[in-house]
Amino acid sequence: MSDASDKMGIGRIEDPVLNKGTAFSDEERKQYLLTGLLPPHVESLVEQVDRVYEAFSDEPTDLHKHVFLRSVQDENETVFYRLLLDHVEEMMPLVYTPVVGQACEKFSHIYRRARGVFVAYPNRDSMDDVFAHIQRDIDVIVVTDGERILGLGDQGAGGMGIPIGKLSLYSLCGGVHPARTLPVLLDLGTNNTERIEDPRYIGWRNERIKGEEYDEFIELFVEAVKKRFPNVLLQWEDFASVDAERILERYRDQLCTFNDDIQGTAAVTSGTVWAAVEASGGKLADQRFVMLGAGSAGVGITEQLVRAIVATGLSEADARKKFYVIDRDGLLHQGRSDLDDVHRPLAQQTADLTGWGCDLSKPITLEDVVRNAKPTVLIGVTGQAGAFTEEVVREMARHAERPVIFPLSNPTSRAEATPADLLAWTDGRAIIATGSPFDPVEHAGKTHIIAQCNNSYIFPAMGLGILASGAKRVTDNMFMVAAKALKECSPALSDPTTSLLPPLHTIRETARHIAMAVAKQAQLDGVAPECSDEELEVRCTQTMWTPAY
């Protein structure tokens, strides 16, 4: 494999990892045959970032800003990540949620330059050749098939915006070197007629492939990845729930892999709920939970919280009684005949519902559940704006002194409720975290900081811990300790009036703390070679890339 670092002249300037632009010194310009190819003034990285930020600030809309940042990334990765680190609170929502959702919808219109790998179904027999084109070592792959992008549904090839954005956060938050990451889009067609009929659509114009052909394609993909990148960390992202869960189960013991929608979302939500409960003086095992949404995220969050409560000493049967999971057909309970193997363990015993006065042959609604179960924690992962109505929230607030309410759906337009409404309906008593960023809310003379319960707190740290420890597999325990480590970083534990989650400007310190817990657990689980804590600290430091020349 050739060494990219020997590129000269224009080839070096056009490589975003090697390019330093106007920061190339006079000596470097002679060494790399750049004399005359750049303006004569030599800038520092700080000067470059200031100039780029000035241009960024002139962009008129969030989508324009997103496109501008992607162009910076395509030109100079060091400037891109230094810019993001210097303005992380402002820019993370632009490179990822919520703006990435709009970017996925407009992907074919804003496409400028190739990044990552598109594996289209017609090229399925050439999978090995596709990955052979990647002439560098890869540590992390994020892959999607574009079928369930955030709360927006099937975006086809436009789903590539998600792996690109996720891997940006791997480098920004977890310090994974950008040259060792690879976004992948599995293009199996799309059932989104708006995309198919768009004359600018750049994906494969075909109905989405499903069934046995789909499974065979996924198998070909995994085998090609294992052959070309045997030690890679493979993250599955935004697959339809029916595919996501079984893909994870099929391949989790074949390579180092996890599904962020299931496991990452579960870990960040569990850690944030844990922090909310402790900050209000309660105990996790004493809570009653309502989960609105039974897709991969809702199932993953519920199962992880069950495990967390069992770890406190409660039996699994008693722990499961505390969870009321609702899908589009109402509360999951054993009287329903339509439940599959994934949802059956989440179903309530019908005997425990006899006092509710509900007809079990009909859907039991969210309103029914809140009125009868009297939850202390309400979580939404539906993608349905306004699903947490004023009636539901006020009913919950009647019996919960500090109701914990998490409308987690992305993007912002799909949130189950706004923080301002939740605070108004609970007289300011609600403890809130959201999936998308919201500004602080003033209520009754008090400012409430709204935590963004974003997976960016977990998956980059998982990547750092896995790479630093040399883990060969990803275990459930590794996500459990990640949730606990995140909880330990909560500012609300020392000051209940502050945010449940640490500020974004400390995201690298938070990632390092979580990564160390993950790395140690990988050793305990026997999926990583043993070494001392001191050596792990050194490995974390060596693994974390910093954007600097």
| Annotated binding-site residue? 237 | yes
414 is in an annotated binding site: no
Q: Which residue has the tokens 């809310």?
A: 441
Active site residue 111: no
Torsion sign, CA atoms 435, 441, 446, 447: positive
Cross-strand bridge partners of residue 348: 333
**Cα distance between residue 131 and residue 128, in whole Å:** 5
* In contact, 127 and 222? CB cutoff 8 Å: no
410 is known to lie in a ligand binding site: yes
In angstroms, the CA 91 to CA 88 distance is 5
Q: Could you give the residue ranges of the DSSP H alpha helices within 352-498?
A: 366-373, 390-399, 419-425, 459-469, 476-488
End-to-end alpha carbon distance in the chain: 24
Per annotation, catalytic residue among 32, 81, 96, 214: 96
Query: Distance between CA 521 and CA 528 in Å, rounded?
Result: 9
532's tokens: 């001392």
Task: Let me know how long the chain is.
Answer: 549
CB 158 within 8 A of CB 92: no
Catalytic residue among 166, 322, 487, 520: 166
Kindly give, in sequence order, each residue whose CB lies less than 8 Å from that of residue 42, ignoring residues fewer than 6 positions away.
Answer: 22, 23, 24, 25, 26
By the 8 A CB rule, do 419 and 441 touch? yes
Do residues 499 and 492 lie in contact, with contact meaning Cβ atoms separated by under 8 Å? yes
Angle of the 241-251 helix axis to the 296-310 helix axis, nearest 10: 50
E strand spans, 306-440: 323-327, 330-331, 377-380, 404-407, 431-434
* Separation of alpha carbons 165 and 75, rounded Å: 16
Pull the structure tokens for residue 350: 């019908």
According to the annotation, is 537 in a ligand binding site? no
- Residue 191, annotated ligand binder? no
Catalytic site includes residue 166:
yes
The answer to whether 224 and 251 are in contact (CB under 8 A) is no
Is 231 known to sit in a ligand binding site? no
Cβ neighbours of 202 (radius 10 Å): 17
In which element (H, E) is residue 549 found? none
* Binding-site residue ranges for (S)-malate: 148, 410, 454
So which residues are the catalytic ones? 96, 166
* Binding-site residue ranges: 148, 237-238, 261, 410, 454
* Binding-site residue ranges for a divalent metal cation: 237-238, 261
